[in-house]
Structure 1
Amino acid sequence: MQNNNPLHGITLQKVLEDLVAFYSFDTLAELININCFKSNPSIKSSLTFLRKSDWARKQVEDLYIKTLPKINKNNGK
C-alpha cells in the first residue's frame, strides 16, 4: 500500500522539474553533489543519470519530500 508514500503517483520527471523550478540547477548542484546538476545540466540528461543511479535518485527524492511543503506553499496549495 502506497498511501503513506508522498511520492506515490509522482514521476521522477515531475520531481526533477519541480525541484529545478524551485531551486534552479545551480542550487541543486550545491544541495546534491552530482555532476548531472553541475556540468551542462538538463532535465533529460539528469533523468537519464538518476534512473541509473539509485543512490542519487534517493537523494533527489529525499530533497523533494523535504521541499514539497515549500513548493505547495508557493503554488497556493
Structure 2
Amino acid sequence: MANEQPNNPLHGVTLEQVVVRLQAHYGWEKLATKININSFKNDPSVKSSLKFLRKTPWAREQVEQLYIDTFAS
C-alpha cells in the first residue's frame, strides 16, 4: 500500500509542507513574482496562503507545479 503512487512527486507531501518549503527556498517576494496571488504579496503568511489555496484549485495547481519543478527534478 505504501507504493500506491510511486510516480507522484506530491504523494505523502501536505499542502502546508509545499508552501513552507517553497517559502523557505524562494522567500515571499520571489514566490509572489512566480505565482501572482495576493496571499503571497500582501501580508503573506503560511496560514493565509493555505486558506486561499484550499479554496482555489487553479492557484493550488500552480503552487504544486512550482514545487514539482523546483524540488522533484
- TM-score, reference length from structure 2: 0.91
- Consecutive aligned runs of 4 or more in structure 1 exceeding 2 Å deviation: none
Structure 1, unpaired ranges of 5+: 71-77
Q: Which amino acid aligns with 2:25?
A: F
Which of the numbers 39, 47, 51 marks the counterpart of 2:50?
47
Aligned residues: 70
Percent of pairs identical after alignment? 59
Which of the numbers 57, 63, 66 marks the counterpart of 2:66?
63
Q: Aligned residue for 2:5?
A: 2
Equivalent pair of 2:9/2:68 in contact (CA under 8 Å): yes
Secondary structure at the residue paired with 2:61? helix
- TM-score, reference length from structure 1: 0.87
RMSD: 1.2
Secondary structure at the residue paired with 2:6? coil
- Indicate whether 1:13 and 2:13 are aligned: no
Structure 2, unpaired ranges of 5+: none
Report the Cα offset of residue 3 of structure 1.
1.2
